[in-house]
């Protein structure tokens, strides 16, 4: 840095001296000596006072070809050797040299930003709910207690907002942090068919994985440009209703277009919110997350028929989605059926709605250590062809079974059609439980 600053200062001094030399030559003066230096090039030498305590330096400016040097000159003056290559050397070119210096490795900076963006989401997923609740309770015990009272008062009046689709914010959905989040893996959204804005849809997302990273990135942000790929369609990612009882966290989730996965919310969005709505349901849920592990393509679907019944009641088309790579980003300890670990997980799933998993990814600073950061494996989310569903006020079990079977068949075909495109062998089979 000191070398470049000194070089730049030398250029400025050289420019002034060159101008003075030309004026002296035009007046017949002899203050400067000159000699040819190549084709059309000239070298000017001038005397100037050397600043007290100045250190010798050597600088090279690559785009102008100038070499600037300082030696042990007398303390009262020094000679600045400025070989100027051609007549195009200028202050502007010197500035271009300064700004062309790569101060930081761009790829390394972007990689660190990707890590930070994913880390904030992992922490949000794991601890933000508890942290927000504890912070708000603590605020009651401080001089800022009035803020907590005001927030709780507002929360009472705003309690049912999540059931009506929440308050999505395009500003939040377009944050640059989500693009770094996308590029960490990377995550890709593949469109196979157009969707009509005059219809409503239920997207079935498979598999759940540990955190549903592909579902969040593709449908709760604009990182993969879902609104451009499906113009006129408003995606709503449905998640546990309990998340919307947690202060502050609920606001964060709603800003991304996330809503509770319950009947009231789905009924409202499919019947009272116009057309062009797409509710993304991770059909396998907590049960499917318990079987998530790298190298395994397994979905929990055979006995999951509630989403088909809702689609029939509202005449919402079903759209199968398979996210290749969702199971690859975390490794999990799988408890066998009948073990105490599986028993605990099922109890949590039954009474709380989620199942605690023992999982790990890579370390924050090294891929050779264990940690909570997901492995940077590609996630390719493929949106399949919509299945047209009739509107039946009171669908029979036979109706539900028929369209459920059609959905399962469409999902398997979607998997088989795209598996080789993402590097899976032709022999890979989707296991449906």
Residue pLDDT, tens place only, 387-431: 999 999 999 999 999 999 999 999 999 999 999 999 999 999 999
Instruction: Name residue, tokens 């799988």.
Output: 334
Q: Are residues 47 and 183 in the same domain?
A: no
Question: Can you tell me the distance from the alpha carbon of 53 to that of 76, in angstroms, rounded to the nearest whole number?
Answer: 11
Q: How many domains does the chain have?
A: 2
Q: Six-digit token pair at 365? A: 């600073």
d(CA 280, CA 389): 16
95 and 188 together in one domain: no
**Could you tell me if 340 and 208 lie in one domain?**
yes
- Look at residues 71, 72, 64 and name the one whose alpha carbon lies nearest to residue 8: 64
pLDDT at 279 > cutoff 70: yes
Q: How many residues does the chain have?
A: 433
Q: What is the average pLDDT score of the chain?
A: 83
Question: What residues contact residue 217 under an 8 Å CB cut-off, 6+ apart?
Answer: 178, 181, 182, 187, 223, 224, 379
Residue 314 pLDDT class (50, 70, 90 cuts): very high
**67 in the same domain as 160:** no
Give the position of tokens 């600053």.
Answer: 5
334 and 211, same domain (yes or no): yes
Report the pLDDT value the prediction gives residue 215, as an integer from 0 to 100.
Answer: 97
Q: Which two tokens mark 338?
A: 């009948």
Q: Specify whether 270 is located in the same domain as 342.
A: yes
Which burial class, exposed, middle or buried, applies to 103 when counting CB atoms under 10 A from its CB (0-12, 13-18, 19+)? exposed
pLDDT digits (tens, 9 = 90+) for 2-54: 444 454 455 455 555 656 666 655 555 444 344 444 444 444 444 444 455 54
CA quadruple 345, 349, 352, 355: dihedral positive or negative? positive
Do 221 and 294 lie in one domain? The reply is: yes
Are 77 and 144 found together in one domain?
no
CA atoms of 164 and 358, how far apart (whole Å) = 34
Domain that holds residue 13: 2-99
Q: Strand order in 33-36's β-sheet?
A: 33-36, 42-48, 78-84, 66-69, 58-61
Q: Do 257 and 207 share a domain, yes or no?
A: yes
Omega of the bond leading into 5 within 30 degrees of 0 (cis): no
């Amino acid at each position: 840095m000191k070398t470049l600053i000194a070089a730049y200062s030398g250029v400025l001094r050289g420019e002034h001296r060159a101008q003075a030399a030309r004026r002296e030559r035009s007046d017949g003066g002899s203050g400067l000596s000159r000699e040819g230096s190549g084709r059309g090039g000239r070298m000017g030498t001038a005397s100037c006072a050397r600043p007290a305590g100045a250190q010798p330096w050597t600088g090279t400016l690559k785009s102008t070809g100038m070499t600037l040097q300082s030696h042990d000159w007398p303390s009262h003056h020094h000679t600045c050797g400025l070989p100027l290559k051609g007549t195009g050397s200028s202050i502007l070119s010197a500035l271009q040299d300064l700004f062309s210096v790569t101060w930081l490795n761009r790829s390394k900076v972007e990689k660190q930003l990707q890590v930070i963006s994913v880390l904030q989401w992992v922490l949000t997923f794991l601890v933000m709910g508890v942290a927000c609740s504890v912070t708000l309770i603590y605020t009651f015990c401080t001089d800022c207690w009035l803020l907590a009272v005001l927030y709780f008062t507002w929360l009472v009046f705003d309690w049912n907002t999540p059931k009506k689709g929440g308050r999505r914010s395009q500003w939040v959905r377009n944050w640059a942090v989500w693009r770094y989040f996308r590029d960490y893996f990377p995550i890709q959204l593949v469109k196979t068919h157009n969707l009509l804005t005059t219809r409503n849809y239920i997207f079935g997302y498979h598999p759940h994985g540990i955190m549903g990273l592909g579902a969040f990135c593709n449908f709760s942000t604009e990182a993969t440009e879902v609104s451009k790929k499906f113009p006129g369609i408003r995606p709503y990612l449905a998640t546990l209703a309990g998340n919307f009882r947690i202060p502050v966290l609920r606001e964060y989730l709603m800003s991304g277009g996330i809503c509770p996965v319950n009947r009231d919310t789905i009924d409202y969005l499919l019947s009272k919110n116009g057309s062009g709505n797409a509710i993304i349901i991770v059909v396998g849920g907590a049960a499917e997350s318990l079987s998530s592990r790298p190298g395994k393509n397994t979905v929990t679907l055979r006995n999951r028929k509630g989403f088909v019944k809702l689609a029939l009641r509202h005449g919402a088309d079903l759209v199968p989605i398979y996210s290749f790579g969702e199971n690859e980003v975390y490794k999990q300890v799988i408890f066998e059926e009948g073990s105490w670990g599986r028993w605990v997980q099922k109890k949590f799933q039954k009474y709380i709605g989620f199942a605690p998993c023992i999982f790990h990814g890579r370390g924050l600073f090294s891929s050779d250590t264990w940690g909570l950061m997901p492995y940077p494996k590609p996630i390719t989310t493929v949106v399949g062809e919509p299945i047209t569903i009739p509107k039946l006020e009171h669908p029979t079990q036979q109706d539900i079974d028929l369209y459920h079977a059609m959905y399962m068949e469409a999902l398997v075909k979607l998997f088989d059609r795209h598996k080789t495109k993402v590097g899976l062998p032709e022999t890979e089979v989707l296991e449906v439980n």
